[in-house]
Structure formats: C-alpha cells, structure tokens
Amino acid sequence: MAGGEIPPAIATAIIEAGRRMDARGWVPATAGNFSVRLGPGRIAITRSGFHKGLLTPDALMVVDEAGVAEDASLRPSAETGLHCGIYRRFPQAGAALHGHSVPVTVLSRRVGGAITLSGYELLKAFPGLATHEASISLPVLDNDQDIPRLQSRVEALWDQGATHIPGYLIRGHGVYVWGRDMPEALLRLEALEFMLACELEARKL
C-alpha cells in the first residue's frame, strides 16, 4: 500500500468520508484533506492532488507528527501541518476532517474573528453541551499559505483557551473539525455544516 502500511479498515473509513463529503458538495475539485491517527507518531492522511470523492487506497499515505512522510516519494496535502498540530495538541483526537463548503467559505469572509452559534439543537454534537440552550464562539483565522505560521496562530488560539471547541474556520478557505474517531469527526462536521448553512440562510432574510 502506498506510503506505509495503513490498515484496510482505516483506509476504508477515509475513503468513505471523502465520498460522503463529496456528495454534500463540501470538497469540490481536489479541495479538502482527511486524516486518522494510526498510533503513536503515525498518521494516515490523504495525498495532495486527489479528488476526495474518488479516493482509493493509493491516494493515502503515512506521515509522522511533524508531517514527514514515511515514503519520501509521496507528497502529502499542503495542509498536513494543521492535521499534525491537532494530533500533537489533543491526545484524544483520532481523526480530522478539512472541507470547503459554500457556507463555511462565504460566512468566514464576512465575519470577524469568530462566528457565534447559539440555540441550535445540533450544538449537542460538541463536547460539554447537553442542551440547545448553549452557545459557542467558533474561531475564524485569516488564511495563510505559510502553514507553519498559520499553525502557530492556531496554537496561540488554543493557548488562549479555545481548546474546548474541536474545530475552527480559515477565512475564505474552509473548516477543520476533529473527533475521537472518524464517525465522531463526521458527526461534528455535519452538525457544524448544518448550523453554518442555517446562519447563511438567516443572513439572506
């Protein structure tokens, strides 16, 4: 298998996540990237340049927590460093998803440093929220092609106390969400996408 040994169940989970997100229009063209923690210091991640709705096992590879490929002939996603940052910071994180939906892209371009989500039933998809009578401030960071510099801003955000929210937006670009495993990451992403779609529709009224 390309880029190191990836258990078939993990490869299947990543491939199916790509198909699911593609069906919802969240990963157009070659946008987006997905990863799963394989164990200490090893991460399975999508390779650069592949359509995420058409993934095969050969579209996946293995990197360490610094983003260094086990197979140097393969090129990981340009944003691998952001996935690695999640796994370094959160020992409980087992899967991370990055998508480029219309609501995420549009709303992140029209707000300041955060989007407030309040009163939604689906807030219960996030940790520590047992009722819709809750509110979260979803961070929005300016886009940057320098991934180490962008990750340093993510780290600063976490240092300021934003670690309780397993996700953030990059302005005009996309969303990052993570969970203990792929099903939880997908659940959180779908909940977030629904709430952001509602916010976008509300702004049209």
- Residue-wise pLDDT tens digits, 67-108: 999 999 998 888 999 999 999 999 999 999 999 999 999 999
Task: Assess contact for 177 and 192: CB atoms under 8 A.
Answer: yes
Would you say residue 199 has pLDDT above 60? yes
Q: Is 89 exposed, middle or buried (0-12, 13-18, 19+ CB in 10 A)?
A: middle
Q: Residue with structure tokens 């940052």?
A: 85
How far CA 107 is from CA of 33, 110, 178, 190, 198, in Å, comes to 20, 5, 20, 16, 11
SS3 of residue 61 by DSSP = strand
SS3 of residue 93 by DSSP = coil
Report the percentage of the chain scoring pLDDT > 90: 85
| Cα(154)–Cα(29) distance, integer angstroms | 26
User: 149: which 2 tokens?
Assistant: 């510099």
Residue 164's pLDDT is: 86
| Cα(103)–Cα(175) distance, integer angstroms | 10
How far CA 110 is from CA of 27, 140, 171, in Å, comes to 21, 10, 9
How far CA 35 is from CA of 73, 79, 144, 152, 194, in Å, comes to 19, 11, 21, 20, 22
pLDDT-derived band at 181 (thresholds 50, 70, 90) equals very high
User: 92: which 2 tokens?
Assistant: 């409980």
Structural domains of the chain, ranges and CATH numbers in brackets: 8-204 (3.40.225.10)
Q: Record the pTM.
A: 0.93
Query: What would the mean pLDDT of 16-36 be, rounded to a whole number?
Result: 96
pLDDT digits (tens, 9 = 90+) for 4-18: 589 999 999 999 999
| Cα(44)–Cα(176) distance, integer angstroms | 16
Would you say residue 131 has pLDDT above 80? no
Which residue type is seen at 85? G
Q: Which residues contact 153 (CB under 8 A, 6 or more apart)?
A: 141, 142, 144
Q: Which of 199, 198, 176, 200 has its CA nearest to residue 189? A: 176
Which of the pair, 42 or 130, is modelled with greater confidence? 42
